Amino acid sequence: MARTAISTALLALLIFCTLPFVYQATQLGIRGMSGTAETSRIFTPNAPITNASIFLHMLFGAIITILAPLQLSEWLRQNRPKFHRFIGRILVGLAVPTTLGGLGYIALKGTIGGVQMDVAFALYGVLLSVAAIQAARFARAGHFTRHNRWALRFFFLIIGSWIYRVHYALWFTIVGEAGHTSTFDGAFDQVQNWAFFLPYLLILEARFTHRDGPFWARHA
């Protein structure tokens, strides 16, 4: 009981902490789709497909960021399994267009940070969609340990976009702007291209090899 209360409180805290980023992504996405985002550097004049790709990816990305922590709730999984499956379908259904929107922007315009950032973000997007599809596939097949592991990878990849901002906020607060440039090609920026998702995936893989069965739950 105490364990459930603590984990529920931690998940609520996580959702609360992601709210500013979710708000930023939502309002920029809405501005972009309604043609009022000309002041954003992300906006590209006379490029409707590029703009639709990136601004829609923000809207879809905001939805999956706010919903993802709910899937970790043991209480919801046990007591509201239909709700867990419903949210799961939304997450998988939106993860793929989020990825495609990001990849479309990379292909049509390229990221601000250049080739290294293009490659890292493209890899991030592909991993996100692979994890989404695998999590759904193993759930449907009834392989719950494998579902559980892919779902955790999927979770950390989804919140990776938020972690990216958290890393910057911590770095700017503690160290200042050393290693960061306005074109995102400083030393810190280059580490960041990979550091918002790869280390977290590696930590997960290390945990998986030292543990049999589902990672966080007895009944996944």
Q: Is 50 in the site for ligand HEM (CB under 6 A)?
A: no
Q: Could you give the string, one character per residue 63-82, with x where binding to ligand HEM holds by CB under 6 A and - elsewhere? A: -xx-----------------
Query: Both ends of the chain: CA-CA distance in Å?
Result: 17
Q: Enter the tokens of residue 48.
A: 């409707």
Q: Is 103 in the site for ligand HEM (CB under 6 A)?
A: yes
Q: Is 104 in the site for ligand HEM (CB under 6 A)?
A: no
| Backbone torsion region of residue 213, taken as left when φ is above 0, otherwise alpha when ψ lies between -120 and 50, otherwise beta | left
Q: Enter the tokens of residue 144.
A: 């719950």
Torsion, Cα 65 195 126 160, to 10 degrees, reads: 0
Q: Could you give the string, one character per residue 123-162, with x where binding to ligand HEM holds by CB under 6 A and - elsewhere? A: -xx--x-----------------------------x--x-
Q: Is 25 in the site for ligand HEM (CB under 6 A)?
A: yes
Secondary structure (H, E, C), 15-31 = HHHHHHHHHHHHHHHHH
Q: In the set 99, 148, 192, 193, which binds ligand HEM (CB under 6 A)?
A: 99
Q: Pick out residues in 156-215 that bind ligand HEM (CB under 6 A).
A: 158, 161
Q: Is 24 in the site for ligand HEM (CB under 6 A)?
A: yes
Q: In the set 15, 96, 112, 133, which binds ligand HEM (CB under 6 A)?
A: 112
| Nearest in space to 151 (alpha carbons), one of 57, 72, 67, 62 | 72
* 3-state secondary structure (DSSP) of residue 181: coil
C-beta closer to ligand HEM: residue 55 or 138: 55
Q: Provide the minimum distance between the beta carbon of 194 and ligand HEM in the complex, in angstroms, as a whole number.
A: 13
Q: Is 28 in the site for ligand HEM (CB under 6 A)?
A: yes
Q: Enter the tokens of residue 172.
A: 């700017």
Rounded CA-CA distance 47/29 in Å is 15
Q: What sign has the CA pseudo-torsion 209, 215, 218, 220? A: negative
Stretch that binds ligand HEM, among 6-14, 60-68, 84-92, 172-180 (CB under 6 A): 60-68
Q: Tell me if 32 sits within 8 A of 55, measured CB to CB.
A: yes
**Footprint of ligand HEM on this chain (CB under 6 A)?**
24-25, 28, 42, 57-58, 61-62, 64-65, 98-99, 102-103, 105-106, 111-112, 121, 124-125, 128, 158, 161
